Chains A and B, each alone.
Chain A
Amino acid sequence: MNDLIKILDKNGLIFAFFIVALIMYVSYFIGKKITNNKIPGAAIAISVGLMIAYFGGDKGLASIPAFSGIAILGGSMFRDFSIVSTALGASFSEIKKTGIIGLTSLVLGTVVAFFVGGFIAYLMGYHDAVSFSTIGAGACTFIVGPVTGSSLGASSSVIAISIAIGVIKSVFVTIITPFVAKKLQIDNPQTAMIFGGLVGSTSGVSAGLAATDPKLVPYGALTATFHTAMGCLICPSILYYIVLYFLPH
């Protein structure tokens, strides 16, 4: 048994290919045969991934020895590489069409998430500008939260909260998007870009769109990646100064 774990651990990435293939196979089977194609296989597979992660540790399933390769396959390097590759399916003219409105969605999405998140934190007892801003930034994405928190000197528990909020957001977006896509008319490149810009959370947006319609992934992912950039840029600066004006030390 120990020998087996050693071999699997040593060849972690290869074992991860097998595990993920297994999850995909079972999920697509369930999607096709049991839900009669009503729930996309991708959505089931992603949800299964999250459910399995619950039984692991701080790296989800990857915290369990032998499964460490999952964190490599699902880490930022492979994730970003495969996201970039989806751009091959995007057309430049569609992106140009969204231009200004895409930029508006980026700014609006960041500002709304920041102030709604910060305001709720304020109501629940976080009255200082640094915590307000860090938690608000966490409501943008789980990268913006810690970037903002560490540049403003927030406490580590507040930073942890901001990361957790970002994770909840990406989980929520992943699960909910396929179900609300029709109602919100997320069925064309333009709306997908607006959606990506407003909601941010690259992982949530791209996973959610993958489960909705894989053709829309590059459009949503493109604006979503700039959402994190926008958040890192304006949360610890302009937005923080605005908060500071209302909540002086």
Chain B
Amino acid sequence: MKIYGVGLLAVCFLIGHIFGDYLGKLFHLNGNLGGVGFAMLILVVGNDYFKQHKMIPHETEQGILFWSSMYIPVVVAMSASQNVKAALSGGWLVIIVGLIATSSCYLLIPLLNNYANKNKK
């Protein structure tokens, strides 16, 4: 049943969040340290393991796939609920810092990429 997949996804999500929250408390920050990232890792590793042992029925997988197909619509809803007006009215400082700091990160992509490719060979 599809709900089994959704349930599995929910468990991964919650474990990740609990772990992230625990890490946050450990470092005295009131935030969640990488909960989503941990949840994704759990799902990736779990999926890898169960796939190898052919333990995930097609229907269960469909339950998870439904949510990944909802991903872009959710992002569209997220964009539509951003405070775009405030971001633009924050003045030049906001725009300049945002654009320059982000662009400098982009410039590092080829650098790291080349380094990674060189290491592979």
Contacts and interface: CB of A to CB of B under 8 A. Distances in A.
B40 A90 contact: yes
Given A82-B74, A194-B113, A139 B98 contact: yes
Interface string B93-121: 11111111110111011101101100100
Interface string B62-94: 001101101111111111111111111010111
A212 interface: no
A26 B37 CA distance: 33
Interface residues of B, number: 73
Given A45-B72, A113-B101, A138-B97, A53 B79 contact: yes
Interface of B: 9-10, 12-13, 16-17, 20, 23-24, 27, 29-31, 33-37, 39-41, 43-45, 47-48, 61, 64-65, 67-68, 70-88, 90, 92-102, 104-106, 108-110, 112-113, 115-116, 119
B40 A84 contact: yes
Given A87-B40, A101-B119, A225-B37, A81 B13 contact: yes
Interface residues of A, number: 109
Interface of A: 16-17, 19-21, 23-24, 42, 45-50, 52-54, 56-62, 70-71, 73-75, 78-92, 95, 98, 101, 104-105, 108-109, 112-113, 116-117, 120-121, 124, 135, 138-139, 143, 147, 150-151, 160-161, 164-174, 176, 180, 184-186, 190-191, 194-195, 198-203, 206-207, 210, 214, 217-218, 221-223, 225-226, 228-229, 232-233, 236
6 contacts: A57-B85, A74-B76, A88-B64, A161-B93, A165-B94, A169-B102
